[in-house]
Structure 1
Amino acid sequence: MLIKTYGSAVFGVDALTITIEVSIGGGNRYHIVGLPDNAIKESLRRIESAIQSAGLKMPRQKIVINLAPADIRKEGSAYDLPIAIAILAASGQLEIPEVDKYFIMGELSLDGGLQPIKGALPISIQARSAGFKGFILPKENSREAAIVSDIAVYGMCNLMEVVSFFNGSFAPHPVLVNTRDEFLNHINNYEQDFSDVRGQENIKRALEIAAAGGHNLILIGPPGAGKTMLAKRLPTILPPLNLHEALETTKIHSVAGKLNAADALMTERPYRSPHHTISDMALVGGGANPQPGEISLAHNGVLFLDELPEFKRSVLEVMRQPLEDRRVTISRARLSVEYPASFMLIASMNPCPCGFFNHPEKECICAPGQVQKYLSKISGPLLDRIDLHVEVTPVNFNELTSAVKAEKSAAIRERVIRARAVQDLRFSSRSNLHYNAQMSPNMVREICKIDDAGQTLIKKAMEKLGLSARAYDRILKVARTIADLAASNVITLEHLAEAIHYRSLDRDSWSG
């Protein structure tokens, strides 16, 4: 007897319908075909134990299982449940006339329990797109899958519940999640706030500019100056995720298996801070079974690289193309997957190996030329993609113990939102362009026009401060963002002067 059940395979952040065909006939061997990986090949041992634990019988006949389309590699243990249901139906132990109306996915334990799967959200989206009535999956993933409307999602605890559901002896209610309520009730629930930071008003200003224009930023300062503390609070002043961004971000984390069972929807902008020992594959994504890397997990949020010069050169260089394209493509012999990677890069570093170059009180003990050697660990092309270079100085005792309350993140965020609204209007006719940092050189010439006095100021700055030629466009982009924050239609000399101030590492004299 031939029975078909339906599941899904995830490629990148999208899913594809997979048909699980089970045929039982004469013989006594089991066969799984359709390019299964080792986890699927081992599934029959789990399935046999789970079926017996549910008080049912594993057929002692020839079982042929085909995963179609047969030319696409199937990976993971989530096919256990649809295979088990198909075996029970094909052996006559289960009557399931409506099995073709449901997506079924889940990993089986030996006792018949269901273990969570990866990619429940894109699979649920595919089930709805393909016109299926419902989606049966482990209970831990049910809220995540229920974000998708117009499809009944049933979270199950074990194989027996699924069998009882199809037999009609168990009628659970579909899991319901009000996406908009979930989104609005949990938006911006950040634990950190800029009001916790004493002093550092110039750094807060730089972070506000970075948030308003989507600019990448690097913080340079001695140990203990507050670089990490400030970077952690950047997501609190970014504009709130809109519903489309929240769904897109949740999809990536679902594929990576990074969502908690209680989380139906990601409502906060992601903040990722990988250790400097990370490999290039872990950063951009990939592997034998391609998975999203840290840059994709930071999509619509912040990627913070602490102690930037300590990262391997090869790791930093692989970020160059994703920083420009805002996506990363992982190519293998049999497939190519694409992950979105639109993130803000925030980096921090000590100014030298000892950490005290340019310190107002402590003396640097590094040998001559060592500061420049330390800085040269970061390539010019990568620095070219960082718009703001900000020197962080330690907070003095008076500021640290001051009773004056610092400005809250909510107040800063309001200014950022207003500036982003100006940019949304400016780029409304251009798709995939939302803020100033994304402007091409041609657009900079068109949008960031300055008068003769401004040109004279930039020329003098480049000559006297030794600014590199690559700093020119960056200065204009940042100046445009500063003007947007000031609700100014034109870039003034004040805006240009402040933007020039944020190019520390381009100065020939900076590292001695």
Structure 2
Amino acid sequence: MLACCGAAALLGLEAHPVAVEVDLAPGLPGFQLVGLSDASGRDARERVRSALRNSGFRLPQSRVVVSLAPADLPKQGAGFDLAIALALLVASGQLDPARLQAHWAFGELSLDGSLRPVQGVLAVVLAAQQAAASGLILPQANASEAPVLDALPLYPASSLSAVVAALQGRASWSSRPQLHPCQPPFVGVDLQQVLGQSQGRRAAELAAAGGHHLLLVGPPGCGKTMLASALLGLLPPLDNEQALMVSHIHTMVGLRSAGAPLLHQPPFRAPHHSSTAAALVGGGLGPRPGELTLAHHGLLFLDELAEFRRPVLDQLRQPLESGEVLIARAKQALRFPSQTLLVGATNPCPCGWWGDPRQGCCCGQHRRQQYWNRISGPLLDRFDLQVSLRSDACASPSSSPPEATAVVARRVHRARQRMRQRNPSGRCNGRLTAAQLNGCVQLSPQAEGWWRDERLAHLLSGRRRHRLLAVAQTLADLAASPVVEPQHLAEALLFRSLERSVARDGGLDPGLAGRPGVAAD
């Protein structure tokens, strides 16, 4: 007798349908499994045998052939155990075929028949819905990380015998737990701990509100790393949909146990400057997500940005623009999400003291030019906010006490609410395309004249005008202004002064750090 049950194979972060077929034929008793690698097939065969026997089911005394189709699809892991066992029960007459019709099953079996949590449940749920499956049977421990979909019933269970009893109507399915957020108290740097650097704190608020990439330039010890850590506390918590995706990504790379509580705090990733392109963007043997994807819906902090190899940094350009990483191989192409907030920090020169009023720079212009050449112009152009920090700003804090993270985070939250009301897609200003931005930004009459000034058009390229307008709109949202005013455009333009200084002088202009709107005061 032939029986079939649906399952899924994981490739990257996506799942692909797999048909688990079982055939019982006359002949010497045996158990042959085709479609899996030798090691995975041998392990699955022994687990299924022991689980069936210890759950009280009869092992067929005939030749058993199990096929996982399509054969050319790479398949690995223990998620096929449950589907193999159920199809085997149907083929041996111990389970009515009608009970399993069009159902998918995904889970690992223990030797005693209990179901163990597996990786990739979110991807399997979405694949089952797309394939119009009647339902998905999964381990009870994975139920909390599976999204609620009206078109796909989910059937969590704790063991193989519980699955069969529920399919036969002798018992009910396990109850599905609610989503449990895993949001420990924020223990990062509070903005109040950042002394001085008022413009750096302003840039952090703008970056968090509008999703604008931020570049911090300054001498050692001026607070670049502290500002990046404090920025994480300004990002809003992840909603359930975002938490599911972030938890799924971290589970697939082994940073989170399958079945663990969902992650509702935005991820923070800070790779070392010696990281390879595969580690930063993704790839390798059996392509895996890189740091850019691990920071999805969170913050990617690249400290010592100019110390990264230029070919590695240049691979960030396309993913930062599109919000996803495309890894092409000879037989497959994988897509990894990468909607992350990039924060870069670097010294102004190799010795770190160019432009500092307290300590002189020992680098010549040629060395500074070589140092900044490690960051290509197109990548530098991706940073909407470019801020120069001064070391003496920490020793001379402003007269007014700095705002706490909680106060600024509330302002960021209100600004994001205005963005969602204005933009149906719900994207931040920094994520909008030029067409989307032009359709929702309103300039005041004074700002309209300033924006159409020929001198400004000559100064900025099309991309830079688009990014400048996005930052100006975020400034207006933070100020609760219904329109963009000239002062918003002027402040947004000052945040792009650094790249012009680098292009002109081959390093940070010593006078740049004292200009209003660019340096700390």
Under a length normalisation based on structure 1, what TM-score does the superposition of the two structures give? 0.81
Displacement, 1:252? 3.9
Match of 2:475 among 466, 482, 502: 482
Task: Indicate the residue corresponding to 2:516 in structure 1.
Answer: none
Q: Secondary structure at the match of 1:7?
A: strand
Displacement, 1:511? 4.0
Q: Could you tell me how far apart the structure 2 residues matched to 1:6 and 1:442 are? A: 41
Query: Does 1:220 find its partner at 2:217?
Result: yes
Displacement, 1:454? 6.6
Q: How many residues end up aligned between the 2 structures?
A: 498
Task: Indicate the residue corresponding to 1:281 in structure 2.
Answer: 278
Task: Indicate the residue corresponding to 1:418 in structure 2.
Answer: 414
Q: Secondary structure at the match of 1:351?
A: coil
Q: Secondary structure at the match of 2:208?
A: helix
Do the aligned residues in 1 keep the contact of 2:195 with 2:395 (CA within 8 Å)? Answer: no
Q: Could you tell me how far apart the structure 2 residues matched to 1:409 and 1:7 are? A: 46
Do the aligned residues in 2 keep the contact of 1:194 with 1:409 (CA within 8 Å)? Answer: yes
Gaps of 5+ in 1: none
Do the aligned residues in 2 keep the contact of 1:146 with 1:153 (CA within 8 Å)? Answer: no
Q: Which amino acid aligns with 2:156?
A: Y
Task: Indicate the residue corresponding to 1:22 in structure 2.
Answer: 22
For the structure 1 residues 368 and 399, does the alpha-carbon distance in structure 2 shift closer, same or farther, using more than 3 Å as the test?
closer
Q: Secondary structure at the match of 1:237?
A: coil
For the structure 1 residues 480 and 96, does the alpha-carbon distance in structure 2 shift closer, same or farther, using more than 3 Å as the test?
closer
For the structure 1 residues 325 and 146, does the alpha-carbon distance in structure 2 shift closer, same or farther, using more than 3 Å as the test?
closer
Q: Could you tell me how far apart the structure 2 residues matched to 1:207 and 1:381 are? A: 22
Task: Indicate the residue corresponding to 2:515 in structure 1.
Answer: none
Task: Indicate the residue corresponding to 2:519 in structure 1.
Answer: none
Q: Which amino acid aligns with 1:278?
A: S
Q: Which amino acid aligns with 2:83?
A: P
Displacement, 1:9? 2.6
Query: Does 1:174 find its partner at 2:175?
Result: yes
Q: Could you tell me how far apart the structure 1 residues matched to 2:453 and 2:477 are? A: 22
Equivalent residues in 2 for 1:321-340, closer than 5 Å: 321-340=318-337
For the structure 1 residues 481 and 397, does the alpha-carbon distance in structure 2 shift closer, same or farther, using more than 3 Å as the test?
closer
Q: Could you tell me how far apart the structure 2 residues matched to 1:77 and 1:442 are? A: 45
Displacement, 1:385? 1.1
Do the aligned residues in 2 keep the contact of 1:121 with 1:148 (CA within 8 Å)? Answer: no
Match of 2:187 among 160, 184, 191: 191
For the structure 1 residues 389 and 337, does the alpha-carbon distance in structure 2 shift closer, same or farther, using more than 3 Å as the test?
same
Q: Which amino acid aligns with 1:8?
A: A
For the structure 1 residues 289 and 76, does the alpha-carbon distance in structure 2 shift closer, same or farther, using more than 3 Å as the test?
farther
Q: Which amino acid aligns with 1:483?
A: A
Query: Does 1:435 find its partner at 2:429?
Result: yes
Displacement, 1:293? 2.9
Equivalent residues in 2 for 1:63-74, closer than 5 Å: 63-74=64-75
For the structure 1 residues 364 and 444, does the alpha-carbon distance in structure 2 shift closer, same or farther, using more than 3 Å as the test?
farther
Task: Indicate the residue corresponding to 2:499 in structure 1.
Answer: 505
Match of 2:353 among 351, 356, 359: 356
Q: Could you tell me how far apart the structure 2 residues matched to 1:93 and 1:453 are? A: 78
Do the aligned residues in 1 keep the contact of 2:355 with 2:508 (CA within 8 Å)? Answer: no
Displacement, 1:306? 1.8
Displacement, 1:67? 1.7
Displacement, 1:96? 7.4
Q: Deviations over 1:245-275 (max 9, x none)?
A: 4444445445545444564544222322223
For the structure 1 residues 82 and 471, does the alpha-carbon distance in structure 2 shift closer, same or farther, using more than 3 Å as the test?
closer
Under a length normalisation based on structure 2, what TM-score does the superposition of the two structures give? 0.80
Equivalent residues in 2 for 1:60-459, closer than 5 Å: 61-91=62-92, 98-100=99-101, 102-108=103-109, 114-127=115-128, 135-145=136-146, 147-148=148-149, 151-156=153-158, 173-177=174-178, 179=179, 182=180, 190-192=186-188, 193-256=190-253, 258-261=255-258, 263-394=260-391, 406-428=402-424, 434-436=428-430, 438-440=432-434, 447=441, 450=447
Q: Deviations over 1:365-386 (max 9, x none)?
A: 4455222211211111111111
Q: Which amino acid aligns with 1:417?
A: H
Q: Could you tell me how far apart the structure 1 residues matched to 2:196 and 2:395 are? A: 9
Q: Could you tell me how far apart the structure 2 residues matched to 1:390 and 1:288 are? A: 38
Q: CA RMSD in A?
A: 4.0
Q: Secondary structure at the match of 1:369?
A: helix
For the structure 1 residues 56 and 226, does the alpha-carbon distance in structure 2 shift closer, same or farther, using more than 3 Å as the test?
farther
Q: Which amino acid aligns with 1:144?
A: E
Q: Secondary structure at the match of 2:101?
A: helix
Displacement, 1:209? 1.4
Q: Could you tell me how far apart the structure 2 residues matched to 1:264 and 1:437 are? A: 29
Displacement, 1:48? 4.1
Q: Deviations over 1:156-207 (max 9, x none)?
A: 2x65665676687876622221x5xx56xx6795333433433332211011
Q: Could you tell me how far apart the structure 2 residues matched to 1:398 and 1:434 are? A: 35
Q: Secondary structure at the match of 2:176?
A: coil
Do the aligned residues in 1 keep the contact of 2:7 with 2:106 (CA within 8 Å)? Answer: yes
User: Which shows bigger deviation, 358-367 or 302-311?
Assistant: 358-367
For the structure 1 residues 173 and 22, does the alpha-carbon distance in structure 2 shift closer, same or farther, using more than 3 Å as the test?
same
